[in-house]
Chain A
């Protein structure tokens, strides 16, 4: 009899927990944001770390301000290692098991494109944090968003810089990834469409190649005025080193396709040979920040003892934008969030508001940061003191 009583009490407790307490507990469960970013090789790990730092500070900021819809936000970090399959597996796990409502942090275009193919079926929106290939958004998937410069304005930036300096012979040396191929093609296309009259030599290479001397000897034989270096990570640095060896540099000008030289390790890697390098940048410490951007810069400086760079700013902004979209939609339901993103205007780090219109081509759901070419004129310069060689649109 006593045993039956205990069993009855246990059953009653179970029912109470199931009916009463469980929903209350679910209410308190955090909203999960997924971060898929390269944190181990062969991915661009430095950018991944920077995006992660920004995203973590973004989530901290959101939670300090009371969270979203009365719930805290949790960041679940997954390493893509720059590999498409690893990124796709992470997305599946985030959405299926961890119930993530938004996924961002993408650095490699290939990973972002591959994930979007799965995301369009699973429905949870993605945000390309620093992915440049057109196809990330040009396929016009409802779930695909991006806060980065696409191929067209980026190529326009270096072509504008080249035109400003009246150079005629251009070598484009690009890796055979979605990123490299897209940018090399876009450069050739704009030269033709805008009738710029540039003579362009395009050389593609496999990004696992450890020796680019044969390719750079070809570049040297072409006698270019300027070289567009479209390598990411190790190949970018290898091209700078071996271009010096062949005597291409410092004679010709070189522009790198993204802001890798903005990192402190640039001078350790290149020393004197880094002088004269130009690089595409999306943010300069001279750029004006929004109030939110200033707040982030202050927190970042305090935590990491260095000023924030672009990937960190974007990681932060991505988290904020998704949180604001959930608030606007008053829901974490993907379709409602997507509608809020498409129709809303959000404050990020830049003074220009973030919008994601249903525009044509790669500008679909895309917010583009300002684009400029910075130049290191002396050794050990920081991006803050680098010369602004060209600003797109000015």
Chain B
């Protein structure tokens, strides 16, 4: 392995940038969990859907210049799909008496995963695609970065900011936070908690869809492109703490850093292992994650 200060700085910057993008996916997973109390195993497939919408919009309709509009359309498209699917697949978990809710959610979302993936193969074929990008290479200090990656990084930060404002400053955000704390109390206050579930699910999958759209020019578009990113998302929520929004961001940055530094300066083939080592370390030191709260039981 070659080592120099410049290479170290480049690797750190590269890790931080990819970390923010991972965080966007983790945020969707953790957000859905905090409201709906369900882990969505099909999150990667919404990432995949977002990337396909981005490709179709840029390649066939809008052109490379309008990539940002395509990204908004991708996020909106996945939001709508989430809004339609949640009442059909997730709502019955709460609307009907059910003993093993977690098992139900796992089975339903894994079935959804398989369905969406097969649908992508059937409709788009097995080939890889890439939406065109005319953004030039950008130098961040000593690190050259694809313009599309910088754009994805900026958009991811922007999306995280907007998300924070919606959650902290709006009535819907207040209701969502209240539902995350106590569903029953929210229901007794006259809020339609099922509607909140649908909104939370749709926002969560829209974040994944946006992530897929932003990363499509970099990591390409194919039926299983969401699989690895979803694994990273789950690693991040274990590191940052399930249900914690700052945890998702910090967890993403840590994971990106550890993987990049490990691959560059320790041993490249184990790039994915370093993330899992970090997960194990966090579980030993703080079993609820860096920002996770200890569960309260009655």
**Which residues of A approach B to under 8 Å, CB–CB?**
39-42, 45-46, 48-49, 176, 203-206, 208-211, 213-215, 217-218, 221-222, 233-234, 237-238, 241-242, 245-247, 265, 268-271
Contacts and interface: CB of A to CB of B under 8 A. Distances in A.
A371 to B, nearest CB: 26
A46 B264 contact: no
A41 B220 contact: no
Given A42-B224, A49-B126, A218 B7 contact: yes
Contact of A218 (B1, B121, B144, B227): B1
The 7 residue pairs across chains A and B that have the minimum distance between CB atoms: A45-B126, A214-B264, A41-B224, A214-B263, A221-B2, A204-B269, A214-B260
A232 to B, nearest CB: 12
Interface string B248-275: 0000000000011101100011111000
Nearest to B147: A245
A173 to B, nearest CB: 9
Contacts of A203: 268
Given A208-B272, A213-B260, A265 B129 contact: yes
Contact of B219 (A40, A238, A268): A238
A217 B227 CA distance: 25
Nearest to A48: B126
Contact of A211 (B18, B126, B144, B223): B18
Given A209-B272, A269-B220, A218 B2 contact: yes
Nearest to A175: B269
B128 A217 contact: no
Contacts of A49: 126
B128 A206 contact: no
Given A209-B271, A210-B228, A234-B222, A40 B126 contact: yes
**Majority secondary structure of chain A interface residues (helix, strand, loop or mixed):** helix
B95 to A, nearest CB: 35
A247 B144 contact: yes
Nearest to B4: A221
A217 B224 contact: no
B270 A206 contact: yes
Interface of B: 1-2, 4, 7, 10-11, 14-15, 18, 121, 126-130, 132, 137, 144-146, 149, 218-220, 222-224, 227-229, 259-261, 263-264, 268-272
A268 B129 contact: yes
A247 B146 CA distance: 10
A136 to B, nearest CB: 22
A45 B218 contact: no
B281 to A, nearest CB: 20
A45 B124 CA distance: 12
Contact of A215 (B146, B220, B264): B264
A77 to B, nearest CB: 14
Contact of A241 (B7, B127, B146, B223): B146
Given A41-B224, A210-B219, A221 B272 contact: no
26 contacts: A40-B121, A41-B222, A42-B224, A204-B268, A204-B269, A205-B263, A205-B269, A206-B270, A209-B263, A209-B272, A210-B219, A210-B229, A214-B261, A215-B268, A217-B11, A217-B14, A217-B264, A218-B264, A221-B2, A233-B128, A234-B128, A242-B146, A245-B137, A247-B137, A265-B129, A269-B129
Given A213-B260, A237-B128, A246 B144 contact: yes
A26 B4 CA distance: 72
Given A210-B228, A234-B220, A269 B128 contact: yes
A41 B126 contact: yes
Contact of B126 (A39, A221, A241, A268): A39
Contacts of A268: 129-130
A106 B276 CA distance: 32
B220 A214 contact: no
A184 B253 CA distance: 32
B117 to A, nearest CB: 8
A265 B55 CA distance: 14
A211 B272 CA distance: 11
A48 B220 CA distance: 20
Contacts of A233: 128
B60 to A, nearest CB: 12
A215 B11 CA distance: 9
Contact of B220 (A204, A222, A238): A238
> Which of A40, A41, A203, A213 has the most chain B CB atoms closer than 10 A to its own CB?
A213
A247 B268 CA distance: 20
A237 B218 CA distance: 10
Contacts of A218: 1-2, 7, 264, 268
A39 B264 CA distance: 33
Given A215-B264, A218-B268, A265-B128, 9 more contacts: A41-B121, A41-B222, A204-B269, A208-B228, A209-B263, A237-B220, A241-B146, A269-B129, A270-B130
A36 to B, nearest CB: 16
Contacts of B270: 206
A235 B228 CA distance: 13
Contacts of A238: 219-220
Nearest to B272: A206
A139 to B, nearest CB: 24
Contacts of B7: 217-218, 221
A101 B175 CA distance: 65
B2 A265 contact: no
A303 to B, nearest CB: 17
Nearest to A42: B224
A205 B270 CA distance: 7
B251 to A, nearest CB: 17
Contacts of A234: 128, 220, 222
Nearest to B1: A218
Contacts of B218: 241
A286 B186 CA distance: 73
A162 to B, nearest CB: 21
A269 B222 CA distance: 12
A201 to B, nearest CB: 8
B250 to A, nearest CB: 19
A205 to B, nearest CB: 5
Contacts of B268: 203-205, 214-215, 218
A205 B267 CA distance: 9
B113 to A, nearest CB: 13
